[in-house]
Amino acid sequence: MKADIVIVGGGPAGLAAAIAAAKEDSNLNILILERDHELGGILNQCIHNGFGLHTFNEELTGPEYAARFEEQLYGLGIRYMLDTMVLDVASSAVTAVNSKEGVFTVECGAIVLCMGCRERPRGALNIPGLRPAGVFTAGTAQRLVNIEGFMPGREVVILGSGDIGLIMARRMTLEGAKVKAVCELMPYSGGLKRNIVQCLDDFDIPLLLSHTVIDIKGKERVTSVVIAEVDDHLKPVPGTEQEISCDTLLLSCGLIPENELSRSAGVKINPATNGPVVNESFETSIPGVFACGNVLHVHDLVDYVSEESGRAGRSAARFVKANKAGEGPVINIKNGNGIRYTVPSFVRVNELDGDLVIRFRSGNVYRDSYINVLFDGETKLHRRKPIITPGEMEQVILKKEDLTGAISEILIEITEN
């Protein structure tokens, strides 16, 4: 089998990348390989609204947002295969399996990695206790409720304040369950402010910051969990234990980009994002292999996934057309004070497709602070922000024309003044 571009994953990133690539060059033979039995990825189970404010200026549900892209995809006649699992990615070939074709290889000119992310499971959190039924990651619970139509439980404690956990606190409450508490290990929430207000505050669900679960009880099904406050070193403080009776513990303790295929292909991974290191074109360390969406870095908003993925898709189309890697001077983007990571990691100005959008996350909570951008030590941008938190992605947009000249480094930092 042959294709100009193979897109691994048909979620929001894959859809946007495919559409943008097809629009860039309608002659390209594009193929999406999707492991699930429908396109749309995790959006299919996100039946709450709030998607598309930036892209469509509307508040859509997840399935509605996906449908907008799927319609475009059908209109453009882009090929896709469902129930198809990619087993291996090499620099110009993708191997996959499905029940019709068996194991097959697609030779291709470019690859866009759009595998998304997975949730950190209980085992990776080292939560002590028994291992009864009733412990779910928030996303698994979301699938059970929204796709399968079943309740994971009736009395719920949630560990972690990631967005899916917050959304599920509201969802479970609306379905008649009692959500007794959301515990967050850190002194700040991992989710969006709007979700804390709309999903917890509006339903009087307590958010207990600097709290964790230290024991899970129940032999067959969860009967209770023990929570405790944690100190500055995130260790439980003796004497603060509280046992909460419940039949369910939901976990929303972080998302991990699914880069097993990328790693085995030899793609260089950024330890801060657990996603590939990419340039302005969302190209990884392997020429012709691009990455976008949550496989690259975990996003808060799908609108940004779509926008980045569009850039990745266009870049892949151009790569196929030019049949060579981009060139020209390289500007490195450096993490200064308070910055955990940036995407992209470096820029080739010649290859820029419009303005340069740099997205990043802070490593801590900063109030009344400034985001600074320095070109080779010279301040180019100094912007006040009332609050910066790790749970909300930040961005700066730099004009392409400002990046001309001999700049070797862009530094982004957070300062008090």
Nearest partner of 371 among 360, 383, 361, judged by Cα:
383
| For another protein, the closer CB: 100 or 324 | 100
Among 23, 143, 334, 400, binds another protein (CB under 8 A): 143
Per residue in 163-193, is it b (16+ CB within 10 Å) or e — as a string? bbbbbbbbbbbeeebebbbbbbbbeebbbbe
CA–CA distance, 131 with 217 (Å, rounded to integer): 8
Residue 101: CB minimum distance to another protein, A: 8
Distance, CA of 252 to CA of 191 (rounded, Å):
10
Q: Which position among 12, 52, 152, 190 is part of the footprint of another protein (CB under 8 A)?
A: 152
Interacting span for another protein (CB under 8 A) from 147-155, 283-291, 396-404, 409-417: 147-155
**Using rule CB under 8 A, residue 61 touches another protein:** no
Residue 296 near residue 1, CB atoms below 8 Å: no
Instruction: Give the nearer residue to another protein in terms of CB position, either 28 or 183.
Output: 183
238 binds another protein (CB under 8 A): no
Are 252 and 165 a contacting pair, CB within 8 Å?
yes
Of the residues 85, 197, 237, 397, which one makes contact with another protein according to CB under 8 A: 85
Burial class of residue 230 (count of CB atoms within 10 Å of its CB; 0-12, 13-18, 19+): buried
Residue 392 neighbours by CB under 8 Å, 6+ apart: 192, 193, 300
How far is CA 5 from each of CA 24, 243, 416, rounded to the nearest angstrom? Answer: 12, 54, 46
Number of residues binding to another protein, judged by CB under 8 A: 52
- Identify which range of 20-28, 55-63, 98-106, 378-386 contacts another protein by CB under 8 A: 98-106
Tokens representing 141?
Answer: 């619970």
Q: Which of 154, 193, 382, 383 is the binder for another protein (CB under 8 A)?
A: 154
For residue 145, what are the CA distances in angstroms to 171, 251, 288, 334, 414? 8, 15, 39, 43, 41
Which one of 56, 64, 132, 330 is in contact with another protein (CB under 8 A)? 132
Look at strands 178-184 and 207-209 and give their pairing: parallel
Does residue 378 touch another protein according to CB under 8 A?
no
Within residues 155-184, the interface with another protein by CB under 8 A covers 175-177
Residue of 24, 70, 119, 229 that binds another protein (CB under 8 A): 119
Q: Is 57 among the residues that bind another protein (CB under 8 A)?
A: no
Q: Under rule CB under 8 A, which residues in 274-313 are in contact with another protein?
A: none
Q: Does 133 bind another protein (CB under 8 A)?
A: yes
Which secondary-structure segment (H or E) carries 276?
Answer: strand 275-276
Q: Which of 27, 57, 128, 378 binds another protein (CB under 8 A)?
A: 128
Which of 67, 76, 90, 144 binds another protein (CB under 8 A)? It is 144
100 lies in the site for another protein, by CB under 8 A? yes
Least distance between another protein and beta carbon 83 (Å): 6
Q: For the residues of 46-104, what is the DSSP string, one character each?
A: --SEEE-TTTTSS-EEHHHHHHHHHHHHHHHT-EEESS-EEEEEETTEEEEEETTTEEE
CA distances from 70 to 31, 59, 315 (A): 14, 17, 21
Determine, following the binding rule CB under 8 A, whether residue 243 of this chain makes contact with another protein. Answer: no
Exposed, middle or buried by CB within 10 Å (0-12, 13-18, 19+), for 399? Answer: exposed
In angstroms, give the least distance from the CB of 243 to another protein.
Answer: 14
Give residue 221's identity as a one-letter amino acid code: R
Are 42 and 76 spatial neighbours (Cβ–Cβ below 8 Å)?
Answer: no
In the sheet that holds 356-362, the strands lie side by side as 339-343, 356-362, 394-398
Report if residue 242 touches another protein, rule: CB under 8 A: no
Among 40, 62, 153, 276, binds another protein (CB under 8 A): 153
Stretch that binds another protein, among 118-126, 183-191, 287-295, 359-367 (CB under 8 A): 118-126
- Least CB distance to another protein at residue 301 (A): 22
> In the set 57, 150, 377, 378, which binds another protein (CB under 8 A)?
150
Q: How far is the CB of 372 from another protein (least distance, A)?
A: 32
**Helix ranges, 214-279 (H):** 260-265
Shortest separation between residue 176's beta carbon and another protein, angstroms: 2
118 binds another protein, rule: CB under 8 A? yes
Minimum CB distance to another protein smaller for 140 or for 195: 140
Residues of the shown chain interacting with another protein in the complex, contacts defined by CB under 8 A: 35, 83, 85, 87, 97-103, 118-119, 121-124, 126, 128-134, 137, 139-140, 143-145, 147-154, 175-177, 214-216, 219-221, 236, 247, 260, 263
